[in-house]
C-alpha cells in the first residue's frame, strides 16, 4: 500500500480559533482503496481537520496534496471539483426542498435557457437512492424525513460525482443497524473502486469492522497511526485519552425503590399504542427498538410535548395530566432530547446560560440574574461531565458535537429531576465521555433517580440498563427483567418476532 501515491495528504496543518488551538501541526494521509479511521476525543480536532480538507476552514499553516499535487482548498465547491466529498457530522439540508434538489444542490442538471431538467434530476437521484436501499424517493420533501433518513440524503450527495476521496464525519450517529449495513456496503463499493475514505466515528465495533488503519488525534496533536488488524480497543483508547477505561459495572442487583413513574395503556394516534410500564427509583430502564418504533414519541408524551389519545400517567401513585414541558419539569420530569441542535441548545448563547436556562427563573438577586450562582452551577457540571470549553463565555455553537451534548445533559442534571429521560444520550460522544455518561446514569440511579434511556445502540442499552423494554412498530414487544436479556432475544423482539406484545 505504501508505494502508492496517497489520494489525499495533509502536512503540518495548524488551525486556531479564538482561545483554542484546534490543530497544532497535524499530518494525515489516505491511500486509494483504503478506509482510514480518524479517532479522538470530543474536541480533539477531527472535524476541524476534515473541514480544512473540505475547504471550509483555511489553515494558518500547512499544505494539502491531492494525488501529490499541492492544492489550496478555498471552498467546499472547489474541494468537490477536486474530487473530495464531505459528509458532515451535523446535517445541513434544505428542509423545504425535495430529496433530489438537496442531493444535487448547487448543480441541478440543466436544459436550454437554464431550465432545470427535472426528469433527469429525479432519475439520477433515484438511481443513487436505489444503491442506498432507502424507503423514500427523489421527490420526498426532506423536512418530512426522519433524522436517519436525512442522514442518508447527506450520504447520497457524496455519490453524485466520481470522488477521489470521501470523508464520513460520524455518519452512523443516527442510523439504525439496517441502515448501517447499507452504508458499510456503500463504503466497501467505494473502496473497491479505489476511492480513499476517511471515516470518523466513536464506535469501536464499526472501526474494527470496516477500517484498514486508524489515526489518532489528541488535543489537536497527531498521536500516531495504527493498523486495525494489529491493534485492539484498549490500545486505541490509551492513545486517545491517555488511560484505559474501566468498562466493568457494578453487577450487583440494584436496590430498587418505589415506583416513580407508572404508565398505563398509553396511546398516541398511530405513533404508539397501549404502552404500559413502570419506572422505579434506583433503576435504569432501557428502551430499545428500531428508529421509528415510537420510543421518542413516548418520551415526548411524558414530557408534555404530545397529547396522548388515551391512557394514564402516574407519578408516585398520583395521576397526572401533563400538557406542557413546564408542567413536566414542575413534576420533576426532564428530557434530554434526541437532537441537540434543534431541540436542546440555544446555539448563539454561551455555555453557562445554556446550562442554567430552565432554572434561571429561580436564580435571581433582586431584579437581576445572579451571575455568580450561575457560574458556580456551570463550573460544577463542567467538572462533573468534563466539558471541554475555553470558558463559560464561549458560545455553545462553537463547541465540538460531543461537548454540546454534554451541555444538554448538564442542563437537565442541574435541575435534579426525579425522572430523567434521555433520548440517545451518547450520540456522537467519544468513548471516554461515553463511559463517563454511562457511569453517570448508573450513579444517578444509585442515588435514587428513575432513569429511562432510549438508545438504538445495542451495546449501550445492554451496558447501562437494569431492565430493557423492546419496542416494535409503536408497541412494546417484550420486557426483559434484570439478567434476562440476551442479544439474540433482543434482536428478535425489535424485529417483531417472538415477543409477547401481539397478545397485549
Partner 1 sequence: MTKPTLSGLIKNGAIWGFIVLELIFFSVAGHFWSMSESAFMDFGNMLLLLKQSAPIGIIAVGMTVIMINGNIDLSVGATYALSAVVMLDSMSWPIFAGLGDWVIPVAWLLALLTGVTLGLINGLIVWKTGVDAFIVTLGAMLGYRGLVFMYNGEQPTYHLNWTMVDIAEANVLGLETPSLVLIAVVVIVWLLMTRTVHGRNAYAIGDNREAAVNAGIRVGPHMLLNFALIGFLSALSAVAFYSASGSVNPNDGTLFELWAITAVVLGGTKLTGGSGSIIGTFGGVIAIQLLRKGLGYIGADTETVNLVIGTILIAVLFLDKQLNRKGQEELKV
Ligand X SMILES: Nc1ncnc2c1ncn2[C@@H]1O[C@H](COP(=O)(O)OP(=O)(O)OP(=O)(O)O)[C@@H](O)[C@H]1O
With b for 16 or more beta-carbon neighbours within 10 A and e for fewer, the 243-264 pattern comes to eebeeeeeeeebebeeebbbbe
Question: If binding is defined by CB under 5 A, does position 403 make contact with Mg ion?
Answer: no
* Residue whose cell numbers read 464499526: 206
Do 37 and 228 form a contact (C-beta atoms < 8 A)?
A: yes
Q: How far apart are CA 2 and CA 89, in angstroms?
A: 29
Instruction: Give the one entry of Mg ion, ligand X, partner 1, none that residue 143 binds, where binding means its C-beta sits below a cut-off of 5 to 8 angstroms depending on kind.
Output: none
Distance in Å, CB of 324 to ligand X, minimum? 32
Q: If binding is defined by CB under 5 A, does position 47 make contact with Mg ion? A: yes
**Contact present, 69 and 84 (Cβ < 8 Å):** no
Stretch that binds partner 1, among 99-107, 133-141, 159-167, 391-399 (CB under 8 A): 391-399
Stretch that binds ligand X, among 39-47, 111-119, 130-138, 249-257 (CB under 6 A): 39-47
The binding track of 394-413 with respect to ligand X, each residue x by CB under 6 A or -, is ----xxxxx-----------
- CA-CA distance, 202 to 430, in Å (whole number)? 5
Binding span for partner 1 by CB under 8 A among 105-113, 261-269, 344-352, 435-443: 344-352
DSSP designation for 98: B
Q: Residue 106: which of partner 1, Mg ion, ligand X, none does it interact with, CB under 5 to 8 A by kind?
A: none
Residues 6+ apart with CB under 8 A from 223: 40, 215, 216, 217, 239, 240
State the cell numbers at 318: 398520583
Q: Which residue is it, cell 470558558? A: 391
| Residue 45 contact among partner 1, Mg ion, ligand X, none, beta carbon within 5 to 8 Å by kind | ligand X
**Which position has the grid cell 427523489?**
138
Compare residues 131 and 218 and give the one whose CB is closer to Mg ion: 218
The helix (H) or strand (E) run that includes residue 99 is helix 99-103
Of 174 and 394, CB closest to partner 1: 394
Write the interaction track for partner 1 spanning residues 220-259; mark x where CB under 8 A is met and - where it is not.
----------------------------------------
Measured from the CB of residue 302, what is the shortest distance to partner 1 in angstroms?
A: 13
Number of H helices, E strands in the chain: 16, 22
Tell whether residue 22 is a contact of ligand X (CB under 6 A): yes
> Residue 200 Cβ, how far from partner 1 at the closest point, in Å?
15
- By DSSP bridging, strand 272-280 and strand 259-268 are antiparallel
Which stretch, 43-51, 158-166, 228-236, 476-484, contacts ligand X (CB under 6 A)?
Answer: 43-51
Q: Which of 258, 262, 259 has the alpha carbon at shortest distance from 319?
A: 262
Q: Is 410 in the site for partner 1 (CB under 8 A)?
A: no
Residues in contact with partner 1, counted by CB under 8 A, come to a total of: 43
* Interface stretch with partner 1, choices 79-87, 155-163, 329-337, 476-484 (CB under 8 A): 329-337
345 binds partner 1 (CB under 8 A): yes
The contact mask relative to partner 1 for 421-460 (x = CB under 8 A, - = no) is: ----------------------------------------
Rounded to a whole number of angstroms, the minimum distance from the CB of residue 306 to partner 1 is: 13
Strands (E), 360-405: 364-365, 368-369
The full DSSP string for 427-464 is TT--HHHHHHHHHHHHHHHHTT-EEEEEES-HHHHHHH
The three cell numbers of residue 57 are 476552514
Q: Are strands 450-455 and 419-423 parallel, antiparallel or unpaired?
A: parallel
Site for ligand X in 407-446 (CB under 6 A): 430
Which triple of cell numbers denotes residue 6? 496517497
Site for ligand X contains 45 (CB under 6 A): yes
| 279 within 8 A of 285, measured Cβ to Cβ | yes
Check: CB of residue 441 under 8 Å from CB of residue 419. Answer: no
Binding site for Mg ion (CB under 5 A): 47, 89, 401
Residues that bind partner 1 (CB under 8 A): 17-19, 51, 56-57, 90, 303, 305, 325-326, 328-330, 335, 337, 342-350, 353, 357-358, 360-361, 363-364, 367-369, 390-391, 393-395, 397-398, 411
Which residues of this chain interact with ligand X, rule CB under 6 A?
17, 20, 22, 40, 42-48, 89, 388, 398-402, 430
Amino acid at each position: 500500500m505504501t508505494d502508492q501515491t496517497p489520494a489525499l495528504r495533509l502536512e503540518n496543518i495548524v488551525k486556531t480559533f479564538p482561545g483554542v488551538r484546534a490543530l497544532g501541526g497535524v499530518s494525515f494521509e489516505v491511500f486509494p482503496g483504503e478506509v482510514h479511521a480518524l479517532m479522538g476525543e470530543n474536541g480533539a480536532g477531527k472535524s476541524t481537520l476534515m473541514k480544512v480538507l473540505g475547504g471550509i476552514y483555511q489553515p494558518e499553516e500547512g499544505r494539502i496534496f491531492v494525488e501529490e499535487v499541492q492544492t489550496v482548498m478555498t471552498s467546499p465547491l472547489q474541494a468537490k471539483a477536486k474530487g473530495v466529498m464531505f459528509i458532515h457530522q451535523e446535517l445541513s439540508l434544505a428542509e423545504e426542498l425535495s430529496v433530489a434538489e438537496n442531493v444535487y444542490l448547487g448543480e441541478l442538471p440543466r436544459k436550454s435557457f437554464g431550465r432545470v431538467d427535472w426528469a433527469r434530476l429525479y432519475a439520477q437521484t433515484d438511481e443513487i437512492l436505489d444503491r442506498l436501499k432507502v424507503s423514500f424517493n427523489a421527490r420526498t420533501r426532506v423536512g418530512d424525513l426522519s433524522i436517519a433518513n436525512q442522514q442518508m440524503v447527506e450520504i447520497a450527495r457524496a455519490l453524485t460525482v466520481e470522488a477521489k476521496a470521501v470523508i464520513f464525519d460520524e455518519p452512523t450517529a443516527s442510523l439504525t443497524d439496517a441502515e448501517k449495513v447499507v452504508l458499510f456496503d456503500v463504503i466497501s463499493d467505494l473502496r473497491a473502486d479505489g476511492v480513499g475514505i476517511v471515516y470518523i466515528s466513536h464506535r469501536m465495533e464499526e472501526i474494527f469492522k470496516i477500517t484498514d488503519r486508524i489515526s489518532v488525534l489528541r488535543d489537536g496533536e497527531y498521536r500516531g497511526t495504527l493498523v486495525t488488524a494489529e491493534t485492539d480497543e484498549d490500545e486505541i483508547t490509551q492513545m486517545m485519552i491517555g488511560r484505559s477505561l474501566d468498562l466493568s459495572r457494578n453487577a450487583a442487583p440494584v436496590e430498587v425503590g418505589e415506583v416513580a413513574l407508572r404508565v398505563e395503556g398509553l396511546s398516541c394516534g398511530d405513533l404508539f399504542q397501549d404502552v404500559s410500564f413502570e419506572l422505579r427509583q434506583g433503576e435504569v430502564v432501557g428502551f430499545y427498538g428500531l428508529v421509528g418504533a415510537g420510543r421518542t414519541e413516548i418520551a415526548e408524551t411524558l414530557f408534555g410535548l404530545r397529547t396522548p389519545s388515551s391512557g394514564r400517567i402516574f407519578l408516585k401513585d398520583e395521576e397526572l395530566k401533563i400538557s406542557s414541558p413546564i408542567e413536566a419539569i414542575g413534576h420533576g420530569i426532564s428530557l434530554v432530547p434526541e437532537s441537540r441542535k434543534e431541540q436542546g441548545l440555544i446555539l448563539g448563547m454561551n455555555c453557562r446560560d445554556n446550562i442554567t436556562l430552565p432554572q434561571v427563573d429561580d436564580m435571581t438577586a433582586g431584579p437581576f440574574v445572579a451571575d455568580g450562582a450561575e457560574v458556580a452551577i456551570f463550573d460544577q457540571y463542567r467538572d462533573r461531565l468534563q466539558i471541554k470549553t475555553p470558558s463559560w463565555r464561549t458560545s455553545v455553537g462553537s463547541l465540538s458535537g460531543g461537548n454540546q451534548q454534554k451541555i444538554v445533559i448538564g442542563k437537565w442534571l442541574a435541575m435534579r429531576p426525579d425522572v430523567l429521560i434521555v433520548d440517545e444520550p451518547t450520540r456522537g460522544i467519544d468513548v471516554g465521555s461515553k463511559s463517563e455518561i454511562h457511569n453517570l446514569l448508573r450513579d444517578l440511579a444509585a442515588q435514587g433517580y428513575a432513569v429511562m434511556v432510549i438508545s438504538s445502540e445495542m451495546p449501550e442499552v445492554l451496558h447501562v440498563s437494569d431492565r430493557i423494554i423492546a419496542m416494535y412498530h409503536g408497541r412494546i414487544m417484550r420486557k426483559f427483567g434484570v439478567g434476562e436479556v440476551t442479544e439474540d432475544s433482543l434482536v428478535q423482539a425489535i424485529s417483531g418476532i417472538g415477543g409477547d406484545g401481539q397478545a397485549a
